[in-house]
Amino acid sequence: MDGPLWTDEYAPDLADLPQPDVRDALARAVSEPLNLVLHGPPGSGKTAAVRALAEKTHADEGDLVELNVADFFGRTKKEVSEDPRFSSFITPKRRRNSSKADLIKHVLTETAGYAPVTGEYKTILLDNAEAVREDFQQALRRVMERNYRTAQFVITTRQPSKLIPPISSRCFSIAVRAPTTDEIVEVLESIVEAEGVEYDENGLKYVAGYADGDLRAAILGAQTTAEETGEITMDAAYDALGSVGTDDTIEEMVTAAENGEFTDARKTLDDLLVEEGLSGGEVLHDVLRVARSRSVGPSAPELHRLAGEIDMDLAEGTNDRLHLSHLLAELGR
């Protein structure tokens, strides 16, 4: 994209979050800085909500420390120790003599222990926390216990069941559901009006449906459409987004499965997984989106029931082809 990302430029305030229940829960956290767990699907706005909370509660942006767990734990010792957020309290001797695990535990302890820039406490965001190993969670629990007066911990995750009970019990849980199509349309409308982009309601609804509850994807999809076509109408959005990717292929696969042509449907599935390089989750997401936007497949409640079962199987990480083939077989019943 040519300009700044709209997801950054139009980051929401606390009052602008699309889910009323999330707004209310975080509004209560402004006056009482509890440790929090925000859990919900990708793109539902968990990280944006935490940033909005921190902006409301802290006078200095330095009092929000963001650690993307998936990235943080995947880095080398050298990369962690040279990060400007941590380099001031990691000496060369500690870097040489510490294991990566000890170094990360030291970073967690020191990050929580230093004084906030302003005010009485700082907020430490642990993003994508489903990737934290249990031994690190035990270390985090001790850090939370020792620094409860000066550090608020906010954990975001797609899988709250991955958190150990001693951490879950120390945090107030907030479910962040995927925003509805109407809620996404309202967010998109405020952005495109601020940008001066011509649009119509059908165009915004198409973009919202394309994103399938992923607010981040919807905003980026709207920006892509605006930059490529200069407007956001149904036709413009379809040209910019519907022709990108594999919508026609997905529709052919679903139709073949419904018609009992299982061999053809599974061959198309293999092409998507191997030739296109899509993950099982991406294929499932596209099946739901295309089924809704093009009115193919079974009724929406039945399709979402089947998709929910397959999504649980995919989360186990065993065999994407096997689980999605099961979906195709069910569509053909």
Based on the domain organization, do 149 and 23 belong to the same domain?
yes
* Consecutive 10-residue averages of pLDDT for the chain (333 residues): 82 94 92 91 92 94 86 76 82 83 84 86 90 85 90 93 92 95 95 96 91 89 92 89 71 88 89 80 83 73 84 77 87 78
Q: Is 297 left (phi over 0), alpha (psi -120 to 50) or beta?
A: left
- Assigned domain for 203 exists: yes
| Residue with token string 């602008």 | 16
Cβ distance 249 to 268 under 8 Å? yes
Residues 241-247: contacts with CB under 8 Å, at least 24 apart? 241/206, 241/207, 241/210, 242/206, 242/210, 242/293, 245/286, 246/272, 246/276, 246/278, 246/286, 247/286, 247/290, 247/294
Q: Which of 242, 260, 278 is the last residue of a domain?
A: 242
30 and 128 housed in the same domain: yes
Q: Are residues 185 and 287 in the same domain?
A: no
Work out the widest C-alpha separation in the chain, in whole angstroms.
67
Q: Quote the tokens at residue 97.
A: 């003599």
User: Is 196 among the domain residues?
Assistant: yes
The predicted model scores a pTM of: 0.70
**Contact call for residues 52 and 13 (beta carbons, < 8 A):** yes
Whether 6 is in a domain gets the answer no
Helix 134-146 vs helix 100-113: crossing angle, to nearest 10? 20
Quick one: 119 and 225 in the same domain? no
Domain stop point among 217, 242, 267 = 242
What pLDDT, on the 0 to 100 scale, is given for residue 160?
A: 92
Find, among 167, 96, 179, the residue nearest to 126 by Cα.
167
Residues 319, 201, single domain; the answer is: no
Kindly state whether residues 25 and 39 are assigned to the same domain.
yes
With contact defined as beta carbons under 8 Å apart, do 64 and 54 qualify? Answer: yes
Q: What is the reported pLDDT for 166?
A: 93
Q: Residues 120, 236: one domain? A: no
CA 320/CA 279 separation, integer angstroms: 7
Note the pLDDT of residue 102. 84
Q: Flag whether 5 is in a domain.
A: no
Residue 87's CATH number: 3.40.50.300
14 inside domain:
no
Residues 165 and 102 in one domain: yes
Domain housing 286? 247-331
On whether residue 3 sits in a domain, the answer given is: no
Whether 13 is in a domain gets the answer no
d(CA 188, CA 267): 37
Same domain, 196 and 318: no
